[in-house]
Each structure stands twice: as C-alpha cells, then as structure tokens.
C-alpha cells in the first residue's frame, strides 16, 4: 500500500514532510520498519507475544 500525498497550495516542504510523517505513523509504517530492521527469531517473537498477553491479563485482574 502506497501512501500518496499531494502538496496543498502555498504549502512548504517542511509542512508536507510533517503531514507525510504523521500519515506514516498513523498507518503503523514506522513501527513496522523499526521492527523489521533486525531479524528476530520466531521463538523470540512468540516469547514477546506471550509476555505481552501475560501483562495484559495481570492488569485486567488487578482492575
């Protein structure tokens, strides 16, 4: 999926870049790029997911 952005009338390059970055953040593109920057073993990915699930369950139990 490509993110397309058109320059508005009298919009500077800095403003255009800021809008582009916000769209990338909103789509989760920057998180995905950072996550895929280094190889992660499948076992590590499962361990991280299990830890996240455990933390969520513990928080719900305390509420």
**Cα dist. 35→17, 42, 45 in Å?**
22, 13, 11
For the segment 10-48, what is each residue's pLDDT rounded down to a tens digit? 999 999 999 999 999 999 999 999 999 999 999 999 999
Q: Which residue range is the domain that position 27 belongs to?
A: 13-62
Number of domains in the chain: 1
Given this model, what pLDDT does residue 63 score? 66
Given this model, what pLDDT does residue 22 score? 94
pLDDT-derived band of residue 1, with 50, 70 and 90 as boundaries? low
Residue 45 inside a domain? The answer is: yes
Residue 46 inside a domain? The answer is: yes
Residue 43 has which token pair?
Answer: 């076992």
Q: Does the reported pTM lie above 0.75?
A: no
Residue 52 inside a domain? The answer is: yes
Residue 3 inside a domain? The answer is: no
Alpha-carbon dihedral of residues 3, 6, 7, 8, nearest 10 degrees? -120
């Amino acid at each position: 999926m490509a993110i397309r952005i058109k320059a508005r009338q009298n919009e500077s390059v800095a403003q255009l870049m800021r809008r582009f970055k916000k769209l990338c953040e909103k789509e989760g593109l920057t998180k995905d790029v950072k996550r895929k920057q280094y190889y992660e073993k499948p076992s590590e990915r499962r361990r991280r997911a299990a830890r996240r699930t455990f933390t969520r369950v513990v928080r719900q139990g305390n509420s």
